[in-house]
Amino acid sequence: MREPIDFYFDFTSPYGYFMSEKIDALAARFGRQVRWHPVLLGMVFKTTRTEPPVSVPLKGDYVKRDFARMARWLEVPFELPATFPIATQAAARTYYWLHDQDCALARRFAHAAFQALFRDGRDISAPATVVDIAAGLGVDAQALSAALQTDAVKARLKAENEAAMARGVFGAPYVIVDGEPFWGVDRLAQIERWLETGGF
């Protein structure tokens, strides 16, 4: 059995959301599993001296147009939320807390959180909103709310973020297939070819 594909993302990235809608099905076509890793791009951008694309002069207008066009290209429902970009600590911490109990549930939560933000326009920076989304999947809201306050849960996300950067993750989505890194949802066709042929 081959190593799973690694998929790094930040819940605030539309391109990460698009990848989240595609990567599992693509991997499954080649009999492969995917490990999901939410990260905080804000921390990564400190290392890379980078700003969120929407904050960059000239580039900001372009990427908003590109988000919508890429959504149409990939046939993924999408609407840019009113509050954007957002902090995603609560969603990412929830993901890892769930993952340590039930990794399939964590995956369902990740889809629900992305869709809440990019289909329903909900501001998932608010812990209460994240807890509400998780509760909709049957998660114990009180236990999750308490967990989000703990140092252990905070440290877990920090460690995951550092591990991602140690693997070279400087942006998102970032996908690693058998050691080969692909940055951006625009590399989907190359990822597909790599899975088909083992490299090109």
Minimum CB–partner distance for residue 128 and a second copy (Å): 34
Smaller CB distance to a second copy: residue 70 or 133? 70
CA–chain centroid gap for 95, Å, is 10
Interaxial angle between packed helices 127-135 and 103-118, expressed in degrees from 0 to 180 and rounded to the nearest 10? 120
56 binds a second copy (CB under 8 A): yes
47 binds a second copy (CB under 8 A): yes
Contacts of 95 (CB under 8 A, 6+ apart): 36, 38, 106, 109, 110, 113
Rounded distance between C-alpha atoms, residue 169 and residue 166, angstroms: 7
62 binds a second copy (CB under 8 A): yes
Q: Which of 164, 173, 170 is nearest to 70 (CA)?
A: 173
Minimum CB–partner distance for residue 78 and a second copy (Å): 14
Minimum CB–partner distance for residue 65 and a second copy (Å): 7
Four-point Cα dihedral 12, 14, 19, 20, nearest 10: 50
Binding part of the chain for a second copy, among 3-11, 25-33, 132-140, 163-171 by CB under 8 A, reads: 163-171
Structure tokens of 124? 């998932």
- 195, with CB counted inside 10 A (0-12, 13-18, 19+), is middle
**Using CB under 8 A as the criterion, what x/- string covers residues 69-98 for binding a second copy?**
x--xx-------------------------
Asked about 13 being catalytic, the answer comes back as: yes
Structure tokens of 57? 């002069």
170 binds a second copy (CB under 8 A): yes
The 10 Å Cβ neighbour count of residue 47 is 10
**Using CB under 8 A as the criterion, what x/- string covers residues 123-162 for binding a second copy?**
----------------------------------------
Smaller CB distance to a second copy: residue 68 or 135? 68
Active site residues: 13
List contacts with a second copy (CB under 8 A). Answer: 44, 47-51, 56-59, 61-62, 65-66, 69, 72-73, 165, 168-171, 181, 183-184, 186-187, 189-190, 193, 200
